[in-house]
Amino acid sequence: MEVNKAKYLISSPSVSKCPTPDRPEYAFIGRSNVGKSSLINLLTNQNALAKVSASPGKTVMINHFLINANAKDEGGWYLVDLPGYGYAKRSKTQREQWKKTMTDYFSKRENLVTVFVLVDSRLSPQAIDLEFLGHLGEIGVPFNIVFTKSDKNSQADTSKNTKTFINKMKEEWEYIPRTFITSTVKKNGRREILAYVQELNDQYKEQGNQLLEQ
Ligand code: GDP
C-alpha cells in the first residue's frame, strides 16, 4: 500500500469523543521518546504530521489521522497516535487518568483492528513495556510489536534484543505477536507495516467487525 493522503483530524480526551467508528483503525503507542512521532511521519510520508498533535506528555489525548480517504473524506482508514507512557513529569493523578482513558479506548473502540506497540530495539526487555503489553492482553486487544531505532545497533544486536524480548513475553503469554523492525533514519520497516495494514484492511472489508471478535 502507498499512503497517498494523510490528514490530521481531531484530538479527543475520551473514547466517546472520538470520530464515528466507520472505518478500520490502527493505534500507535509506546514509551515516551521511543520514536512514535518519527514513525508516524515515516509511514505517512510527511515531515511533521505527528507534531500537529504533539502534546507535552501531560495531556492525555487520542489523536486521529485520516489516511487515504477520498475527496469527501469517505473510505480509507484511521491512524491513531495515542499518548505514550513513562513520562517522568506526569503526576499520579495524570497517570491514573492515562490508564483510565487508555483502558476505555482499548475496550470500547469497536473499529480498532490492532495496536502497534513501539519498543526500543536497543534495550533489554523493560518492565514498563511488558506491563503495558500485559494490560493489553488482559483486555484482549490484538497487538503487534514495532522495534524502533534499529540503525543505532548492529544487526546482530538488534536481532538478539528482539529475540530476548519475544522470549520474555513467551514466559507469560501464549499470544505471540507479529514483529516489525524499523528505523526512521534508514526508512526501514515502512513497507512491511503498510503491507500488514493493507492485509488487515482487506480482511476488515470482507468480515467487518467479525475480524475484531477473533
Ligand atoms: P516519541 O516521543 O515517541 O514521539 O519519539 P520521537 O519520534 O519524537 O523520537 C525521539 C527521538 O528519537 C528523536 O530525537 C528522534 O530523532 C529519535 N529517533 C526516532 N526514531 C529514530 C530512529 O529510527 N533512529 C534513530 N537513530 N533515532 C530515532
Following DSSP, what letter does each residue of 25-52 receive, concatenated?
EEEEEEBTTSSHHHHHHHHHT-SSTGGG
CA-41 nearest atom, ligand 1: 7
Q: DSSP class of residue 104?
A: H
Q: Is residue 102 part of a domain?
A: yes
Give a yes or no: residue 118 inside a domain: yes
Q: How much of the chain, in percent, has pLDDT values that exceed 90?
A: 80
Model confidence at 196: pLDDT above 60: yes
Report CA(110)–ligand 1 centroid distance (Å).
Answer: 30
DSSP string, 153-165: S-HHHHHHHHHHH
Domain assignment present for residue 149? The answer is yes
Average pLDDT value over all residues in the chain: 91
Confirm whether 212 is domain-assigned: no
Cα dist. 186→5, 42, 83 in Å? 22, 10, 25
38 Cα nearest atom in ligand 1? 7
* Structure confidence by residue, pLDDT tens digits, 77-119: 999 999 999 988 888 998 999 999 999 999 999 999 999 999 9
53 lines ligand 1 (CB under 6 A): no
Instruction: Note the residue count of the chain.
Output: 214
If you measure from the C-alpha of residue 168 to the centroid of ligand 1, how many angstroms do you get, rounded to a whole number? 25
Please report whether residue 214 resides in a domain.
Answer: no
Per DSSP, helices labelled H in the chain are: 36-44, 92-108, 127-139, 155-172, 190-207
The answer to the question of residue 1 being in a domain is no
**CATH, residue 88:** 3.40.50.300
Provide the pLDDT for residue 210.
Answer: 58
Contact indicator for 30, 48 with CB cutoff of 8 Å? no
Q: Could you tell me the residue range of the domain that residue 78 belongs to?
A: 6-207
Strand partners, 66: 7, 78
| pLDDT at residue 207, rounded to an integer | 81
Residue 59's pLDDT band, with cuts at 50, 70 and 90, is confident
For residue range 167-190, what is the model confidence (pLDDT) as tens digits? 999 888 888 899 999 999 999 999
- Evaluate whether residue 38 is within a structural domain: yes
In a domain, 213, yes or no: no
Q: How many domains does the chain contain in total?
A: 1
